Every structure is written in C-alpha cells, then in structure tokens.
Structure 1
Amino acid sequence: MEFKDLKKKNSEELNKLLNEYKSELFTLRFRNKTQQLDHTHKIKQVRKDIARILTAIRQSELEQEKGRK
C-alpha cells in the first residue's frame, strides 16, 4: 500500500486497516514458526505497511492539533 493512498483515508478507516494488518502479521508469524509459510518476505512487507499506517495516523493527529491552535 502506498502512503499517498493512506493519506486520503480517515482515522476510522486507518484504524480498521491497522487491525487487519496486525492480525495478518500474527498469522504470518505463526505460519512461519510452524514452517508453513513459503514467502517469508511477506512479513517484512506487512511490517512496513503497519509503519506506514501508523505514520499516516500520527500525521493526521498533528494536523488536527495544528488546526486547533
């Protein structure tokens, strides 16, 4: 997922997406430990997507605070 797409979403959508990615990461890690995961690079991709989502959430929070002042 690209960051410019995330910037267009509201906070509810971002939080929902964050929960989905966190559960996917849990599943991937579990499958990796049980040696059922063929593409281990997916874990890294999901972690980066989670970081992008968290960055977008924080940016929107900062913009809202800036607007209040």
Structure 2
Amino acid sequence: MNAQELKAKTPDQLRDELTALKKEAFNLRFQQATSQLENTARMRKVRRDVARIKTVLNQKAAEAAAN
C-alpha cells in the first residue's frame, strides 16, 4: 500500500483500514509470543502501514482545518 492509494480514499475508509491493520498487528503479536509467527517481516509492514495511514489522516484533517 502506498501513499497515493491512501490519499485517494475517504477518511472513513482510512479509519476502517486502520482498524483492520491494528487488529492484524494484535494477532501478529500473539503469534510471535506463542512462537507461531512464520512471516516476521509482516509485523514491520503492518506497523509502517498503520503509520502511513495515520499520516494521511492527519494531512487530510489539517487540509480541512485550513479551508
């Protein structure tokens, strides 16, 4: 997922995506704690996607406040 794709989405869609990613991160942490995690790189990708979505949401909020 890249920033251009995220900027095209509405804030509601971004919040839904953020919720899904946070749930996935929670499940990945459980898998890691129980030594069942197979793809360790997925944790990093999910964390970065969460940060990316938060950044785009903050940019959209700042844009709305400026107008």
TM-score (normalizing by structure 2): 0.97
State the aligned residue count: 67
Which aligned runs of 4 or more in structure 1 are off by greater than 3 angstroms?
Answer: none
Which residue identity lines up with residue 65 of structure 1 in the other structure?
A
Deviation at 1:12, TM superposition (A): 0.4
What code does the residue aligned with 2:42 have?
K
Q: Secondary structure at the match of 1:38?
A: coil
Q: TM-score, normalised by structure 1?
A: 0.95
Cα distance in 1 for partners of 2:30, 2:38 equals 12
- Read off the aligned partner of 1:56 and give its amino acid letter: V
Unaligned runs of 5+ in 2: none
Report what 1:52 is aligned to: 52
d(CA) in 2 for partners of 1:24, 1:3: 20
Q: Which has the larger radius of gyration?
A: 1
The root-mean-square deviation of aligned C-alpha atoms, in Å, is 0.5
SS at 1:37's partner residue? coil
Secondary structure of 1:35 counterpart: coil
Amino acid at match of 1:2: N
Uncovered stretches (5+) of structure 1, i.e. residues with no partner = none
Give the structure 2 partner of residue 15 of structure 1.
15
> What's 1:37 paired with?
37
Tell me the amino acid that sits aligned with residue 48 of structure 1. R
Aligned to 2:38, what secondary structure does the other structure show?
coil
Calculate percent identity across the aligned residue pairs. Answer: 37
